[in-house]
Amino acid sequence: MRVGRRVVLRGLGATLALPFLESLGAGKVHAQAAPSPTQYAFFFRQASGVACAQNTGEIGEEPERFWPRSKGALDAANVQGRALDELTAYLDRLLVVGNVRYGDFNWGDGHAAGALAALTAARPVVEGAGGDSEADGESIDHRIGRELNPPGRDSLFLYASSANGWLGGPCISYRSPGQKRAPLHNPQDTFGAVMGAIGDPADAGAAFTAARRKSVNDVLRGQLQSILGHPRLGEGDKRRLDLHLSTIRDVEVQLVCQRDENIERELDGVDQIYQSNAGPDIWRTARLHMDIAALAIACGYTRSAALQIGVGNDGTSRYEDPDTGQLMENFHYISHRRLSHGSDGGVIAGSDLMHHKVDRQFAQAFRHMLDRLAAYAMPDGMTLLDHGVSVWYNDNGNGPGHSRSNVPWILAGSAGGFLQQGQYIDIPGSAGNHARLLNTIGSAAGVRKAGGGYLDDFGDAGLRNDGYTGLCSELLA
Amino acid sequence: MRRVRQLGQCVLGAPNARVVLLMCGLLACSGQIEEVDGAGGGRRDTRGMLSGGSRGGSGVTGNDGPGSVGDGANSGSGPGAGPRVDLPMDPDELAQVPLSDVAASVSPSPETRLPRLTHVQWQNSVRDLLFLASDATLPVLRPDPVSAGFDFTNSGATLEVDAFLHDGYQQAAEDLAGRVTADPTLLEKILPAGSRDATTGPETFIRGFGLRAHRRPLADEELEAYLALYAEGARHYPSLSAFEAGVRVLLEAFLQSPYFLYRWEPSEAVSGDLIPLGDYEVASRLSFTLWDSMPDDALFAAAEAGELVLPEGVAEQVQRMLDDPRAQPVVESFHAQLMNSSKYDLIAPSTSVFPDVPADLGQSARQELASFVRDVAFTKERGYRELLTSTETFVNADLARLYGVSGTFGDAFVKVQLDPSERKGLLTQVGFLAAHATSADADPIKRGVFVAERIACLHISSPNDASPPPQPMPGSTNRQLIESHTEMPGSACAGCHAPLINPFGFPFENYDATGAFRTTDNGFTVDASASPLIDDTATPVENALELIDALAQSPQVHACYARHWLEFMHGRHVTDVDEPLATRIGFESQSAAELSIKELVETVASSRAFLNRSTEEAP
């Protein structure tokens, strides 16, 4: 990344000096195109399905409130009255993917089958264990960061809502099979992580700090190497030490990313509310994470970020009813249409409409991220939004049934012309076809196999055996 | 993550102590123990590598580097080995073997060599290492991920240092180093005598402080590396004196050192069928297990004197440590995690159904549990039986009202006697009951699953993904609704719900969604009778109180409790090799003599499995 050429951030009310971000340029991506150094992926996760057309035992016939009316080109009429109309300003940059189906593995729990599999396309480590298992594979957000970020720099895994709960709370991102990642929960920590890793070569203090840390790091590296040399060390211990060793990195002073006063101002007091399960607090936390994630992508800190809202089933978050200003029942109850995390409990009258209101709030939050990314103007005339792909996805297809079929995946941004835009397209196939979608997103973000080819084998080997390799060609530009 | 054993569609295998013991017997008794007997598995009576005298100095052994520092006493089989016996396979026969003999005979299971400190352990260790006040504010580290299943937070093999935690450690180290060196009082506290000597001071400081930071004497090459770093201090902090600058940058390194952040166990010399731990390794195991912190001066002195490779030396320290107030939060933490009390914070009964319920009911319930555990374990010095059956608890005004206790109460928690016809122990406390309820009603399924799995160690398969919702049944009780939904003969649900889940949950139908006692539900008399599977036998009970009595009399339930303690104290899942000790503790805990919680912990901490390593490494 070159230093000295600047792009300017618009829209945050301040001028932010950024490094020049290379661009792909306009036009279609040709097969096996070399990745751009600024391609990226952002994942925004919603749990417990959407309010779509269905017949539920609790409510009866529920109308379609989410999906566009017809496949093909997206326009305002196509999405009017649907949750997606919150994204009307970005319809020409959306790719609404239909018929996404998760693998038919024996998770023993509808939420685990979505939350733990959506970004991994993996089976459970222990079959049928329900909430007691983990995903048996790395998640795509981590894979992108592992391959494209500077060495030792994890992709951002961000989280909003209360800390503990179903599936352990934060649960969508996996470093390796069975190894769940810890999220950054407090946006202040996210900001500190991003800004703390970046030094300005013009700042004498930063260079001073870098020199001191290097002296300390040299000692730490020697100690970790000494432990790694122990003849009886087990494989698990080696893996953890290797990870630790990879994090001992010296301050990089080749990047320039000035602090943003607006974000810093918004961060004030967020440490008091970031673990709250109340909707307004959740969205404030989420939007701050998004602001920082956009900044981190723009600054070249990371090529991948994932933001999870709510615990495994989002069963603690209580979103606000915009019509009354009151907090509704927790979202999982609403998705069940009942006062229960199970299948008992009384029916919640109007819960299908409540679900729709929650969907709209997720759409509004996603739009916030798109606004932020679109605010970064690139030298090629595009915006940062167009250089990558931002994904709003769900763990489940619908409410009470928590289906694994037709799960919403809403993509925004063409990744530099890699993906189609302004379309609602079904991908072919049955259970497990979403492994191809993850290949497509990973490739759009710039992941390439050793020989330079697109990522085509992500996810569980069983899915590959079922033929789910390669990319979703119908989604490519 | 817990890997559950699944035999058949619904239960029945692993947690059944009798079955497990048989499996274990095949592994442990016919193979390993026979070999150890032949190898003279008696207590260690030599000092191994350190007996030649290097312990008097730095304790560093030869040229083996840091990996062998101070841990040399590696011959023999260490404390806890005692007089080993051949453990019988039959549980009834095992019950006749003295508990101390079982503890002295069980083998260690493979474990990580470097469990990372939990954040609580890190905080406590930082305060102890730097002599900070117990209420000193420390930087907050990013939370660790939470297992999808039930794991204690100290599961060592899963705790890792990723980039963001490293950044947190780094920031914390720099902040703390700055704080200490800027405060003359704090600085003097951490300086060993002679640290300011112009010539030998740096080495004196590094050796003295380093022993406490690494929790063992430093190796020569470690000393040299730290001396070199000290010399760079003046360059990095030119505004400070050379000494303070050197100390500051050293503190930054010590606080980020893997030897501080992990509990490193380098011993590798095999003796018989195990690897004995050295003195300093034992000191750290004891301190982090019993106190959640680094060893204190007495433990370091015992390690220095070679006392921790002797059974009596370990026993003396364990008793001292359990009598120390620092043990109490650890025992509370164990039970808080066992009862999943973090879930209490999510208790939110419907205000339309329960308009008088306090908003902070969950927080009160957590406080009640902590006070209750502390009282049973440390004031009464009783055991699991008392935890299950005590009719005493601690209440504030809100809880007193909910329990129907008369008197005047405020915010403070005070000990009270509950109505013995309504309440008995942990499982009739508000926390468990309200955390396993919907916002409007009791949830016998969740209550039943918790008791079956967590209390009785029975395995239950997960439900089908697409379990249909129950149809409303106006004019019925909650129990009738659940029965009609889950116990339909021939249905997929009935296989687990009818014999296993519901019988552990229905006895609690006398308690509503807030945990309040009730005799009617929806206008009908509550039916709390059931026949839960206890000790492999369907056991008829009329209500929760009878269920609790049956649980309290069950050796398998007590063995389940012991299994949790073994997991907690070893920081790993239990294995078949652990089962004889769990089973034997279960008998002792259930017996009229009632092994106390302190005695249980002492037994595990003094056991052969705790004080040695397996010759097999954790995968």
pLDDT at B22 over 60: no
Q: How far is B327 from chain A (nearest CA, A)?
A: 26
Binary contact (A189, B142; C-beta < 8 A) = yes
Residue A206: what pLDDT? 75
Residues 6+ apart with CB under 8 A from B612: B77, B78, B80, B81, B108, B274, B275, B276, B277
Taking phi over 0 as left and psi of -120 to 50 as alpha, with beta for the rest, B258 belongs to alpha
Q: How confident is the model at residue B41 (pLDDT cuts 50, 70, 90)?
A: very low
| Residue A203 backbone phi and psi in degrees, to 5 | -95, 110
Residue B348: what pLDDT? 83
- What are the pLDDT digits (tens) for A73-113? 999 999 999 999 999 999 999 999 999 999 999 888 889 99
- By the CB < 8 Å criterion, does A231 face chain B? yes
pLDDT at B232 over 80: yes
Cβ–Cβ under 8 Å, residues A131 and A430 = no
| ipTM, two decimals | 0.86
pLDDT at B341 over 60: yes
pLDDT at B166 over 70: yes
Residue B146: what pLDDT? 86
Binary contact (B161, A244; C-beta < 8 A) = yes
Binary contact (B439, A329; C-beta < 8 A) = yes
Interface A-B, measured as beta-carbon pairs within 8 A, has a size of 245
Binary contact (B147, A233; C-beta < 8 A) = no
Of A84-93, A250-259, A307-316, B89-98, the one with minimum mean pLDDT is A250-259
B572-579 average pLDDT score: 93
Nearest-angstrom CA–CA distance, A148 and B448 = 48
Query: Chain B, 6-45: which have a CB under 8 Å from a chain A CB?
Result: 6
Q: Which is higher by pLDDT, A259 or B551? A: B551
Nearest-angstrom CA–CA distance, B74 and A364 = 64
Residue A116: what pLDDT? 96
> From A111, which residue of chain B is nearest by alpha-carbon distance?
B465
- By the CB < 8 Å criterion, does B256 face chain A? yes
Query: Chain A, 126-155: which have a CB under 8 Å from a chain B CB?
Result: 126, 128-134, 152-154
Residue A15: what pLDDT? 31
The three-state secondary structure class of A457 is coil
Residue A199: what pLDDT? 54
Q: How confident is the model at residue A203 (pLDDT cuts 50, 70, 90)?
A: low
Binary contact (A197, B144; C-beta < 8 A) = no
Nearest-angstrom CA–CA distance, B194 and B182 = 20
Highest-confidence range of A234-248, A342-356, B33-47, by mean pLDDT? A234-248
Using a pLDDT cut of 70, give the percent of chain B over it.
Answer: 85
B409-423 average pLDDT score: 97
Of A154, A235, A346, nearest to B163 by CB-CB distance is A154
For every residue of B342-390, DSSP letters joined together read GGGGG----TTT-TT--TTHHHHHHHHHHHHHHIIIIIS--BHHHHHH-
In B, which residues are within 8 Å of A227 by CB distance? 66-67, 114, 258, 264, 266
Nearest-angstrom CA–CA distance, B177 and B161 = 21
Mean pLDDT taken over chain A? 88
Residue B151: what pLDDT? 85
Q: How far is B42 from chain A (nearest CA, A)?
A: 25
Distance of CA A148 to the CA centre of its chain: 16
Query: Chain B, 511-550: which have a CB under 8 Å from a chain A CB?
Result: none
- What are the pLDDT digits (tens) for A151-197? 888 999 999 998 878 888 999 999 999 999 999 999 998 988 887 76
Rounded to the nearest 10 degrees, what angle do helices B279-290 and B297-304 cross at? 160
Q: Are strands A6-8 and A17-19 parallel, antiparallel or unpaired?
A: antiparallel
Residue B509: what pLDDT? 97
In B, which residues are within 8 Å of A134 by CB distance? 1, 147-148
> From B268, which residue of chain A is nearest by alpha-carbon distance?
A232
The three-state secondary structure class of B24 is helix
Residue A18: what pLDDT? 40
Query: Chain A, 161-200: which have a CB under 8 Å from a chain B CB?
Result: 162-165, 167-171, 175, 178-186, 189, 192-193, 196-197
Of A242-251, A305-314, B527-536, the one with minimum mean pLDDT is A242-251
Highest-confidence range of A206-220, A343-357, B212-226, by mean pLDDT? B212-226
- By the CB < 8 Å criterion, does A201 face chain B? no
- What are the pLDDT digits (tens) for B111-125? 999 999 999 999 999
Binary contact (A342, B446; C-beta < 8 A) = yes
Q: What are the Cα distances from residue A438, in Å, to A93, A94, A101, A410, A435?
A: 19, 17, 12, 13, 5
In A, which residues are within 8 Å of B161 by CB distance? 240, 243-244, 247
Residue A187: what pLDDT? 95
In A, which residues are within 8 Å of B168 by CB distance? 189
B239-264 average pLDDT score: 97
Query: Chain A, 394-453: which have a CB under 8 Å from a chain B CB?
Result: 400-402
Residue B251: what pLDDT? 98
pLDDT at B25 over 70: no
- By the CB < 8 Å criterion, does B446 face chain A? yes
Q: Which is higher by pLDDT, B465 or B140? A: B140
Q: Which of A248, A245, A247 is CA-nearest to residue A213?
A: A248
Cβ–Cβ under 8 Å, residues B367 and B393 = no
pLDDT at B482 over 80: yes
Q: How many CA atoms lie within 13 A of A452 on its CB side?
A: 5
Residue A459: what pLDDT? 96
pLDDT at A16 over 70: no
- By the CB < 8 Å criterion, does B3 face chain A? yes
Nearest-angstrom CA–CA distance, A1 and A148 = 13
pLDDT at B73 over 50: no
Residue B26: what pLDDT? 25
In B, which residues are within 8 Å of A168 by CB distance? 145-148
- What are the pLDDT digits (tens) for B513-562? 999 999 999 899 999 999 999 999 999 999 999 999 999 999 999 999 99
- By the CB < 8 Å criterion, does B108 face chain A? no
Using a pLDDT cut of 90, give the percent of chain B over it.
Answer: 71
pLDDT at B47 over 50: no
Q: Which of B110, B119, B59 is CA-nearest to residue B261?
A: B119
Model pTM? 0.84
In A, which residues are within 8 Å of B67 by CB distance? 226-227, 229-230
pLDDT at B39 over 50: no
Residue B21: what pLDDT? 29
Binary contact (B163, A170; C-beta < 8 A) = no
B477-481 average pLDDT score: 90
pLDDT at B3 over 60: no
In A, which residues are within 8 Å of B253 by CB distance? 216, 219-220
Mean pLDDT taken over chain B? 86
Paired residues of A7 in beta bridges = A18
Paired residues of A95 in beta bridges = A411, A423
Residue B496: what pLDDT? 86
Q: How far is A391 from chain B (nearest CA, A)?
A: 23
Of A337-341, A354-358, B439-443, the one with minimum mean pLDDT is A337-341
Cβ–Cβ under 8 Å, residues A103 and B455 = no
Test the B interface: residue of A59, A132, A248 with most B CBs within 10 Å = A132
> From B224, which residue of chain A is nearest by alpha-carbon distance?
A219
pLDDT at A257 over 90: no
In B, which residues are within 8 Å of A344 by CB distance? 438, 441, 443, 445, 469-470, 478, 481-482, 485
- By the CB < 8 Å criterion, does A268 face chain B? no
pLDDT at B87 over 90: no
3-state helix, strand, coil in chain B (%, to 5): 50, 5, 45
